[in-house]
Amino acid sequence: VIEPNTIEQFLGSEDLLDRINDILHHSRETPFVGDDANLILTFLVYLSCKSVQPLNLEMIGQSSSGKTYLALTARNGFPKSMVMVLAGASKEALKYDYDEVSDDGEFIVNVANRCIVILEKDESFAFIRRMKPLMSGDDKELVWKTPIKNEMSGEIETRDFIIRGQPSFITLTTRNPSEAEQITRQLLMTPDTTPEKVEAVVSNALLARARPEDLTIHEDLHLLQAAMLHVKKRPVRNIFAPLMAGFFPSKS
């Protein structure tokens, strides 16, 4: 058990992002190499689920470009209760994975303060399209009316399956984005695949196999996870928002 004072001290660190970056790089048996900016960006998209306006991120890259490794390394900074990782998802995904049943018989899936990661977006387009209202913030509740059989009476009844809350989303794909609706809802990112990065990754992987005893998980990993669970829902103020208008075309 980590004391609240320890968590508060950690969150109050002046070099907090640097500490998080170091912890994430050493959050697995084979340390993550390089790509600091993309790793922290991904981490912050995860964390944005604790804000009133969660962010969405799409990672684009060829197979074996490191998308999954990057996404799951950033995920290590959070407790499992905050992150839902789906290898792929049909349009009915989440519907029956409910957290509670209301007094009115509604089946409720709570996704607030969580991040949903879809490792195979190319196989999950129907699910992504169904999640669009949540991704854009247009709505914070999706309702399906579904006929199910009453086990007591044997009759068919209509029940509501509700996905409630606004999570952050991270999707991984090998294709350049083509659907305009998705482009306007997500940040776009490509992992670093420079020759220098690839050489460092290969050398690091071989070193991990040769001398695994030299590598250890960062001692503050559990502290980071506890701190992220401790963070409360926050409003976000972007003081640069008026200046950002100049970066966007006025016709679109």
pLDDT tens, 36-91?
899 999 999 999 999 988 999 999 988 877 889 999 999 999 999 999 998 878 87
| Contact by Cβ (8 Å): 111, 84 | yes
Count the neighbouring beta carbons within 10 Å of the beta carbon of residue 165: 18
Q: In which band, very low, low, confident or very high, does the pLDDT at 211 lie, cut at 50, 70 and 90?
A: confident
Count the neighbouring beta carbons within 10 Å of the beta carbon of residue 195: 7
Tokens read off for 135:
């991704």
**If DSSP codes are grouped into helix, strand and coil, which group holds residue 69?**
helix
Q: How big is the CA angle at 162 (ends 159 and 166), to the nearest 5 degrees?
A: 175
The residues near 97 (Cβ < 8 Å, ≥ 6 apart) are 109
The residues near 184 (Cβ < 8 Å, ≥ 6 apart) are 136
What is residue 252's predicted lDDT score, i.e. its pLDDT? 57
Judge residue 172's burial from the number of C-beta atoms within 10 Å of its C-beta, 0-12 exposed, 13-18 middle, 19 or more buried: buried
Q: What are the pLDDT digits (tens) for 105-134? A: 888 989 999 999 999 888 888 888 888 888
The residues near 115 (Cβ < 8 Å, ≥ 6 apart) are 45, 46, 49, 54, 78, 82, 83, 84, 167, 168, 169, 170
Looking at the chain, the whole-number percentage of residues with pLDDT higher than 90 is 37
Report the candidate in 193, 227, 205 with the shortest Cα–Cα distance to residue 28: 205
Q: What's the Cα-to-Cα distance from 89 to each of 10, 116, 122, rounded to whole Å? A: 36, 11, 10
Judge residue 124's burial from the number of C-beta atoms within 10 Å of its C-beta, 0-12 exposed, 13-18 middle, 19 or more buried: buried
Please tell me the distance from the alpha carbon of residue 1 to that of residue 6, in angstroms, as a whole number: 11
pTM (two decimals): 0.86
Element spanning 110, H or E: strand 107-110
What is residue 135's predicted lDDT score, i.e. its pLDDT? 86
The residues near 78 (Cβ < 8 Å, ≥ 6 apart) are 46, 47, 115, 225, 228, 229
In this predicted structure, the answer to whether residue 230 has a pLDDT above a threshold of 80 is yes
What is residue 180's predicted lDDT score, i.e. its pLDDT? 61
Q: What are the pLDDT digits (tens) for 7-30? A: 999 999 999 999 999 999 999 888
